[in-house]
Structure 1
Amino acid sequence: MFKKVPILIFFFLIFFVSFEDLYSKDEYFLTLRNEKVNLRQGPSFDYPVKILYKKKFLPVLIQDSSDNFRKIRDHENNSGWVHISQLSKKKAAIVIEEELILFGKSTIFSNPVALLKQGRLVKINKCKIEWCKVKTGKYKGWVSKNGLWGLL
């Protein structure tokens, strides 16, 4: 009986330590909630502002957390800390290809609706395996998921 206890404790510790490490390294996307959001050098209002974002719904990759701040990275590889009140769960993405065709349906054989340029912000309605239904300005349609940054 006593020989099994150290083994059980060993496996218990390995499982929970490993699980915590995996969970803490999960990255996910959120978007900026407001038109103006400060990216700070550290996880507190005491740290100086590195960048002032001026684009609502800009997708950001969440990489870490500290109290009420989240460490983020944007599509240009800028990273820093943002207060959680400035983040939203609304889905959006940035066009990363030079040109991305917006189709009427989720197939390349569908009629093209518009040609989206690199850097264009699109709001995500839903995604399938290779396609996302998006809205940008007055246009709605489907784009290839590979041409977007802001989705996992």
Structure 2
Amino acid sequence: MKIKNLINNIFIFSLLIFFITSSNAGEIFVSLKKNKVNVRYGPSFESDIKYVYKKINLPLKQIDKKENFRRIIDLKNNSGWIHISQLKKSNSVIAIKDKVLFKKPTSFAKPVAQIKEGRLLIIEKCERNWCKITSEEFEGWIKTDNIWGLN
């Protein structure tokens, strides 16, 4: 009886681990390769276009995949399917609150600029809880809290 209970517990534990790890396995951030990208209702070119993104480097969360299409969701919870050829590894984030851009990766460094909520930021590199970014004419470091699009 003890062996049967042990086997049942191991089986249940294994299922639990499988579902926990597989549920987030496909959720990664990606960015748009081009200035104009079609988002479709389904994972095929025969599916109707739902809407069009017009912002290169826009970060998106990939939540599913089927063959050469990826199901994405954006910061505003819009979702749909995009062909993999229109996506690249994530290289950008969006500030979800106003942030300060610093010259170095410390809050004691010289402030460079005020980054407004909703601003698209291009990531150069990240270290600990800081990312070096560029945004039009500014370059510097921001803390990784209150940004959307970071894996």
Give the TM-score of the pair, scaled to structure 2: 0.84
- 1:24·1:64 contact (CA, 8 Å) conserved in 2? no
Q: Shift of the alpha carbon at 1:25?
A: 3.6
The number of aligned residues is 144
What are structure 2's unaligned runs of at least 5 residues? Answer: 1-6
Alignment partner, residue 149 of structure 2: 150
**One-letter amino acid of the counterpart of residue 67, structure 1:** E
SS at match of 2:21: helix
- 1:60·1:75 contact (CA, 8 Å) conserved in 2? yes
Alignment partner, residue 38 of structure 1: 38
Matching of residues 1-150 of structure 1 within 5 Å: 19=18, 22-23=21-22, 25-26=24-25, 27-97=27-97, 99-150=98-149
State the distance in 1 between where 2:123 and 2:45 align.
Answer: 31
RMSD over aligned CA atoms reads: 2.3
1:111-137 C-alpha deviation (Å, 9 max, x unpaired): 110111111111111112211110111
Percent of residue pairs bearing the same amino acid type: 45
SS at match of 1:105: coil
Give the TM-score of the pair, scaled to structure 1: 0.83
State the distance in 1 between where 2:150 and 2:68 align.
Answer: 23
**One-letter amino acid of the counterpart of residue 53, structure 1:** Y
State the distance in 1 between where 2:77 and 2:66 align.
Answer: 20
1:57-99 C-alpha deviation (Å, 9 max, x unpaired): 00010110011100001111111100000001141001110x1
State the distance in 2 between where 1:144 and 1:20 align.
Answer: 32
- 1:25·1:64 contact (CA, 8 Å) conserved in 2? no
What are structure 1's unaligned runs of at least 5 residues? Answer: 1-6
